[in-house]
Amino acid sequence: MQRRRFLGLMGAAGVSLAASGKAKAAGKEFHGYPGSNAVLFDATRCIGCRECEAGCQKVNDLPMPEKPFDDLTVLDQKRRTNSDNFTIVNKYDVGREKPVFRKFQCNHCLEPACASACFVRAFKKEPNGSVTYDASVCVGCRYCMIACPFEVPTYEYHEALTPRIRKCHMCYERQLEGKLPGCVQACPKEALTFGDRDTIIKIARERIRTNPGKYIDHIYGEHEMGGTSWLYVSGVQFDQIGMRDVGTTSAPELTAGALAAVPVVVGLWPVLLGGIWAVNKRKEKIAAQEREEAVKNAVAETQEKAQQKMSEALTKAEESAQRRIDNEVKKAVDEALKAKEEEAKGEGEDSKQDEGEGA
């Protein structure tokens, strides 16, 4: 099912429920940890230099891209994050003299859809604001990818044995060490500001208040999807720089509404998710068996070929040895015959001489 459709269904179910007056929120609303951190992206300051991408790549030990970070021709195409790039910058021509640039990464939702969709709890909203991921418990169902309204989590499809979900984790470990996230540290234009979320919102409001002609009056992420730990201010409408109107209802609220609306689904949910898990495990088992079988066949085939080559080489060696022996024997026989002939010839000459002397 397509991500948008899935969310649409969830949303629709939630809405119909609210209308019928039967809607009940999950009962445990959560609006972020007090004092948690956030990052403000200011689209009026970003120059599209890609230094933030390079900073992210460096601190996360990610592979260098095909085109170097100072090659800005990549901005001519709309890109999205992938398992090797947790953050990217896109360029938007909005009919102004200059284009507008926008950075894209995980928004670290206060109530993350990825976490509420993950039945093994591989995702976790941390007290510092990061949404982290634990690969050791992940079963690879990729449900988080379907659930995320911002299309952030990506999967290591190229990893045959231990594929992981990959996404920005807001430099969780660096934050614990008191360091800035890699992208924030790298930005030369202060387009990224890091701090506690309440202060960041105040900074954003102040910029809008003191520069009314420069900014539109909206802080994206303050309420979107129940609030996020990445916040955005811009001089143009957010849909012009590729940011969707995702509503202000948090993911768990949407999910709770949808599930409560169809009681049978509530019972089936764990079965369904368990089923997905079992199917994935079975696929992995079959893939492992197939791999083992392929290796066995390859080894047998190689051994057979090696044996055939060995026996051909032995036959050739035997034939050549036999030829050498035959040649030696023939040579010895020829020499013996020749010696015999010489001897016979010598004896003939001696008897002629004897006869001549006798006459």
User: Which parts of this chain interact with ligand SF4 (CB under 6 A)?
Assistant: 46-52, 89, 101, 103, 106-109, 112-114, 131, 148, 150, 152-153, 167, 186-187, 189, 191-192
Give yes or no for a contact between 127 and 175, defined as CB atoms under 8 angstroms apart. no
Instruction: Please say which residue, 89 or 241, places its beta carbon nearer to ligand SF4.
Output: 89
Query: Shortest gap between Cβ of 138 and ligand SF4 (angstroms)?
Result: 13
Instruction: Please say which residue, 16 or 33, places its beta carbon nearer to ligand SF4.
Output: 33
Query: Shortest gap between Cβ of 148 and ligand SF4 (angstroms)?
Result: 3
Rounded to whole angstroms, the Cα distance separating 324 from 330 reads 10
Instruction: Please say which residue, 184 or 259, places its beta carbon nearer to ligand SF4.
Output: 184
Instruction: Please say which residue, 8 or 320, places its beta carbon nearer to ligand SF4.
Output: 8
In 3D, which of 201, 62, 39 has the Cα closest to residue 130? 39
Rounded to whole angstroms, the Cα distance separating 219 from 243 reads 12
The two structure tokens encoding residue 161: 């044995």
Query: Shortest gap between Cβ of 166 and ligand SF4 (angstroms)?
Result: 10
Query: Shortest gap between Cβ of 83 and ligand SF4 (angstroms)?
Result: 13
Query: Shortest gap between Cβ of 161 and ligand SF4 (angstroms)?
Result: 24
Query: Shortest gap between Cβ of 101 and ligand SF4 (angstroms)?
Result: 6
Checking phi first, is residue 88 left (phi over 0); if not, alpha (psi -120 to 50) or beta?
beta
Contact partners, residue 254, CB within 8 Å, separation at least 6: 7, 10, 11, 14, 113
Instruction: Please say which residue, 108 or 174, places its beta carbon nearer to ligand SF4.
Output: 108
Query: Shortest gap between Cβ of 251 and ligand SF4 (angstroms)?
Result: 7
DSSP secondary structure code for residue 119 in this structure: T
Instruction: Please say which residue, 225 or 261, places its beta carbon nearer to ligand SF4.
Output: 225
Contact partners, residue 99, CB within 8 Å, separation at least 6: 48, 91, 92, 93
Rounded to whole angstroms, the Cα distance separating 340 from 335 reads 9
Burial (CB count within 10 angstroms: exposed 0-12, middle 13-18, buried 19+), residue 358: exposed
Instruction: Please say which residue, 100 or 201, places its beta carbon nearer to ligand SF4.
Output: 100
In 3D, which of 246, 227, 238 has the Cα closest to residue 4? 246
